[in-house]
Amino acid sequence: TPVRLADYRPSPWRIDRVALQFRLAPRGTTVTARLEISSAPGGEDLRLDGEGLRLLSLRLDGRALDLRPDDRGLTIPAADLPQGAFTLESVVEIDPADNTALEGLYMSKGMYCTQCEAEGFRKITFYPDRPDVMAPFDVTIESDLPVLLSNGNPAGQGRWTDPWPKPAYLFALVAGDLIAHSARFTTASGRGVDLNIWVRQCDEDHCAYAMDSLIRSMRWDEQVYGREYDLDVFNIVAVDDFNMGAMENKGLNIFNSRYVLASPETATDDDYARIEAIIAHEYFHNWTGNRITCRDWFQLCLKEGLTVYRDQQFSGDMRSHAVKRIEDVLMLRARQFREDAGPLAHPVRPESYVEINNFYTATVYEKGAEVIGMLRRLVGDDGYAKALDLYFARHDGEAATIEDWLAVFEEATGRDLAQFKRWYSEAGTPRVRVTEQYEAGHLTLHLEQINPPTPGQPRKSPKVIPIAVGLLSPEGREVLPTTVLELTGAQQAFSFDGLEARPVVSILRGFSAPVILERAVGAAERAFLLEHDTDPFNRWEAGRALAKDLLARMVTDGTDPGPDWMTAMEAVTFDDGLEPAFRALVLRLPSEDDMAQTLHAAGHVPDPAAIHTARRRMQAVLANGLAARLPDLLAALDDPGPYTPDAAAAGRRALRMAALSLLSRVDGGAAARATFTTADNMTVEVGALACLLEIGAGDEELTRFATRWGEDRLVMDKWFTLQILHAAPETVAERTEALTGHADFDMRNPNRFRAIFGALAANHAGFHHADGASYRLLADWLIRLDALNPQTAARMSTAFDSWSRMDVDRQDMIRGELTRIRATPGLSRDLGEMTERMLGGA
């Protein structure tokens, strides 16, 4: 049965203090929990959550209680409860070695670790496992292992005390044979903080970049948000088996090792950028998430949307705002727009769920961040700063709601946000239709917004949409700098006077709102904006839109792109006045999935095979057109010096790999082969290998790669991914299946499972091959994985969420697989809810 936002009731119980004692053993860990509880005056039963716990004893103020838990917890009848405060002590036994779900307390390569968000603490002990119950925790850990960690400040070997009241989902424990990469940080007000990144022995020399990122994050949050760290130590632990990216447990962040460990030889530039972003993200949660937490899980976007917004700002400040914005929008469209367009569409603040883990989505995270970006544009930088100061001052130590969040903006700025709030409650991507009229120095933009129906939400009302526009003269001069139009009605017109000539309109600059623009723009105008727009995002967007228009024509009527496109692409590719990273982004053609989404939105039934063929053809056209000048470009970009992970160097490598990929299409892979052989860093090594695989070569290089990196699990994940991602469509299922038989495939490791099946789903033409073999293979493995790890199985099942845009044959095949999964005996709540929702649209 679903949980509903409308049913929220404050907890009748307060926990004033928690003392936990762990006696660690792989097959029988005992957990003793002493809870100091203040009773409700209402005379209600006390309900504690608990799952998979063997209850050994239960005492209330020292007196034994003989109660039996049910499947989901324990009820202590009101009649057994004293008036006023009391102490409840439970002893339970759990089996961390058998915990393959990686939720609660589990083991990974001999190390104990925890993951409690969202509802994993109930797999550790009986407790009111809800975020609005906050308490200070003391923890004692007994074990022979040398390193014993928990939240807060150290209080002796294996003892920790966390002075900051926190919800149970922020609890963490780690025990293992680990070593620390350490540093020291002094906060703005002079508090000394010990920083440690804990890893296994062999990974010690892979921690420097994560540490550097942490220190920069701590400084940045002081300087930009005025937020200081609040404990004497900050610990980060890297673990190999982890369902998500990382977790912001108070003072003890736990990370998937792929988002901590890096060296030039083993990590790519993208890996470095992600490590920087995720280290920052988890650190920023200390204020937006931990000091101010969520009242209930419906408010998840309160912490996640804001923290994503903050980490995006940080990465922009550290690197390039233009490039970061383009990358974020690419991601938003690929994942969130896709989610919004299918059966899994849900509001940024959902109103009901069966399994909350299914709502850690692109909508909650990335659209949640977009909503904050819009809010900031509407109230301005000063308004935003004032509102955030008020938010921290007013809600520190509280479990807050979206209403609380919007109220600080209303009070700080005087703006009424009642209509804006619809961004939180209504799912779906708005479409904004734009037409323009020009007459004698006078321009009118007619804007119309269309809010399409989504599951459970047939009708919607107009939203507040900030639309940033600028106007350019026909010579490419900016005649109107960026101005924000506020579209609030279903239709609205905006006028501009005193123009000397008909201007070129640059609309939705910086992607000022997560909407789909519908506007008929000719190729010449797009090429003009690609050349002249002063807004870097829109400059890229113009090239992108042009490529999409042309690719759509290639798919639907087989027409090759004309010489204008080549001229524009050539101009950007070889323009040394532009950032190399930007040029690399312009060279990246729209993905097949993106094209399928776009064609579907335009009323076509996309054919994955036709899209694949057309896109390859377009790449060949581009390669041939640029071929003569590529060797010089490659030579100019060849960095002789030692590898550095900074944005400028990474941008040069990105352009170099984009050029190499094109050249490979005309030189049979000769340059890529040489590059692979001499590569001294993973970005170039893996980049060159991908170039070869793309042209159907690279078998020998794959073998050499495996020989070189067979012992490095993170690098081997890349090896698995690459050969599936770049395989020809008709070979993908077979190749994937063969790799599941490889000695190094371990379905219990989520990174490895994702390396293989994430790649299968990402190979658009291969996954959607007409023989249905990939669909069957993924379904088989989701069923297998679900028995071990429901959370990761449910997440991977979203590969099927695009079924409704397919032709009837593919729709039937996908529905068949989803129906087969749903009928599996003992299916988890996680995967059950996902298949139900995906089939619900049928």
Instruction: Please give the positions annotated as active site.
Output: 282
Q: Which is nearer to Zn ion, 304 or 817 (CB)?
A: 304
Residue window 250-289: x/- pattern of binding to Zn ion, with contact defined by CB under 5 A: ----------------------------------------
Sole binder of ligand ARG in the list 141, 233, 244, 530 (CB under 6 A): 244
Structure tokens at 201: 């022995």
Amino acid identity for residue 329 in this structure? V
Spatial separation of the C-alpha atoms in residues 31 and 24, rounded to whole Å: 8
Question: CB under 5 to 8 A by kind: which of Zn ion, ligand ARG, none does 271 bind?
Answer: none
The length of the chain in residues reads: 842
CA 190 from chain centre, in angstroms, equals 34
Q: What DSSP element (H or E) covers 58?
A: strand 54-60
Q: Which is nearer to ligand ARG, 297 or 643 (CB)?
A: 297
Q: Using CB under 6 A, which residues numbered 271 to 290 contact ligand ARG?
A: 281-282
**Residue of 37, 141, 247, 569 that binds ligand ARG (CB under 6 A):** 247
Q: How far is the CB of 137 from ligand ARG (least distance, A)?
A: 18
Dihedral, 211, 212, 216, 218 alpha carbons, nearest 10:
20
Which residues lie closer than 8 Å to 188 by C-beta, 6 or more apart? 222, 228
Alpha-carbon span 446 to 492, nearest angstrom: 6
CB of 360 to ligand ARG, least distance (A): 4
Q: How many residues bind ligand ARG (CB under 6 A)?
A: 11
819 φ, ψ (degrees, to nearest 5): -65, -40
State which residue, 101 or 345, has the beta carbon closest to ligand ARG. Answer: 101
> Considering beta carbons, is residue 249 or 307 the nearer one to Zn ion?
307
Count of CA atoms in the C-beta half-sphere (13 A) of 180: 15
Residue 841 has a CB neighbour count (10 Å cut-off) of 15
Residue 118 CB, shortest distance to ligand ARG, in Å, is: 5
Decide which of Zn ion, ligand ARG, none touches 244; Cβ closer than 5 to 8 Å per partner kind. ligand ARG
By CB under 6 A, is residue 255 in contact with ligand ARG? no
Q: How far is the CB of 363 from ligand ARG (least distance, A)?
A: 14
Minimum CB–partner distance for residue 451 and Zn ion (Å): 28
For residues 821 and 816, give the distance between their C-alpha atoms in angstroms, rounded to a whole number.
9
**Helix (H) or strand (E) run with residue 31 in it:** strand 29-38
Which C-beta is closer to Zn ion: that of 277 or that of 662?
277
Other C-beta atoms closer than 10 Å to the C-beta of 842 total 12
| Contact assessment for residue 35 and residue 21, using Cβ atoms and an 8 Å cutoff | no
Closer CB to ligand ARG, residue 281 or residue 395? 281
| Other CB atoms within 10 Å distance of the CB of residue 724 | 26
Restricted to residues 432-491, the positions that interact with ligand ARG (CB under 6 A) are: none
CA distances from 428 to 340, 401, 464, 526 (A): 5, 22, 14, 27
The residue among 282 and 426 lying less far from ligand ARG, judged by its C-beta, is 282
To the nearest 10°, report the CA torsion of 672, 593, 650, 198. -110
CA distance 196 to 539: 43
Residue span binding ligand ARG (CB under 6 A) among the ranges 122-130, 246-254, 433-441, 685-693: 246-254
CB of 716 to ligand ARG, least distance (A): 25
Q: Which of residues 337-366 bind ligand ARG (CB under 6 A)?
A: 357, 360
Cβ neighbors of 642 (< 8 A, separation 6 or more) are 264
Size of the site for Zn ion (CB under 5 A): 2
CB of 288 to Zn ion, least distance (A): 9
Q: For residues 300-339, which are near ligand ARG according to CB under 6 A?
A: 304
Is the Cα torsion angle 550, 552, 553, 557 positive or negative in sign? positive
Q: Which of residues 282-321 bind Zn ion (CB under 5 A)?
A: 304, 307
Mask for 106-125, x = binds ligand ARG (CB under 6 A): -----------xx-------
The site for ligand ARG (CB under 6 A) is made up of 117-118, 244, 246-248, 281-282, 304, 357, 360
The site for Zn ion (CB under 5 A) is made up of 304, 307
